[in-house]
Amino acid sequence: MAAVAALWRHPIKSHGREPLTGVTLTAGQALPWDRTWAVTHDATRDDPESGWISCQNFMIGTRTPGLAGINARLDEATGQITLTHQDLGSLTFDPDAPDASSTLTAWTAPLCPADRARPVAIVRTKGGRGWTDTDFPSVTIMNRASHRAVSQRLGRPIEEERWRGNIWVDGLAPWEEREWIGKSIRIGAAALTIREEVVRCLHTAANPVTGKRDTDTLGTLEDGWGHRNFGVYAEVTTGGDIRVGDPLEVL
């Protein structure tokens, strides 16, 4: 039987991930505290105050692979986030504080290539929206069997964190999740509709410990299966609690 194997959130888009044991989903919203903040750069074109804008307006691992080496921990009670990186040490700060942008951008500056856009400001979404890569509030679902298939084709194991998923599921066939598009699933007390596949980018090539690009994930997907997709985007249609170990049912 398919079941939830892991849960992750990414409080600041492309700036670290945090494992969870359980979470409460809300209909029409992203996973709580997932990508609540993002960091604009000096080439950002669209106004974050206008609502959802595309990921190209933010600092992301596609252009700044060193960001992949960040881990995060959010203290929901205090609003403080602690980021850690093997080369930078740790940073604890309030992302909503007046000096948050200067604090964060100074800490990440060594990770930013000189010939790429430079970070400018940390911005927050409104109403549980999350700075998802989709133009709707989404939750990403990943299949461990598909991950193992990619590792087998590479001839070595790679880290799940590369894919930056929210809900990891085990007990499926490889790529079974691709058959869910347009269908609904139930996990714990929540129901979700699967909307589309996740088209992957170069962020996945970067090692989540070192932040260095060391694996041709995109080429492996194309050579093995003729696409660059891994995982699916889902929309929460019925809110409720989900936990690691909860079964997954296709409705």
At 70-117, the pLDDT tens digits run: 999 999 999 999 999 999 999 999 999 999 999 999 999 999 998 888
How would residue 126 be classed by pLDDT, with cut points 50, 70 and 90? confident
Residue 143: strand pairing partners: 169
DSSP output for 104-164: HHHHHGGGS-TTSPPEEEEEE-STT----SSSS--EEEEEHHHHHHHHHHHTS---GGGG-
CA–CA dist 25, 242 (Å, integer)? 7
Contact 72, 17 (CB under 8 A): yes
CA–CA dist 122, 13 (Å, integer)? 10
* pLDDT for res 196: 98
Tell me the torsion sign for CA atoms 199, 6, 160, 88. Answer: positive
Q: Which helix (H) or strand (E) element contains residue 15?
A: none
- Cα atoms in the Cβ-side hemisphere of radius 13 Å centred on 243: 2
For the cut 80, the answer to whether the pLDDT of residue 128 exceeds it is: no
Residue 169: strand pairing partners: 4, 143
Contact 3, 240 (CB under 8 A): no
Give the mean model confidence (pLDDT) for residues 229-249.
98
For the cut 90, the answer to whether the pLDDT of residue 149 exceeds it is: yes
CA–CA dist 38, 83 (Å, integer)? 14
Tell me the domains of the chain and their CATH numbers.
Answer: 3-29+134-250 (2.40.33.20), 37-124 (no CATH)
Residue 73: strand pairing partners: 82
How would residue 206 be classed by pLDDT, with cut points 50, 70 and 90? very high
How would residue 141 be classed by pLDDT, with cut points 50, 70 and 90? very high
Q: Dump pLDDT digits (tens) for 24-52.
A: 999 999 999 999 999 999 999 999 999 99
Q: What is the pTM of this model?
A: 0.97
Contact 19, 5 (CB under 8 A): no
Q: What's the chain's Rg over C-alpha atoms?
A: 17
Give the mean model confidence (pLDDT) for residues 220-248.
98
The one-character DSSP state at 225 is H
**Percentage of residues in the chain having pLDDT higher than 70:** 100
For the cut 80, the answer to whether the pLDDT of residue 183 exceeds it is: yes
Mean pLDDT of the chain: 97
Give the mean model confidence (pLDDT) for residues 162-184.
98
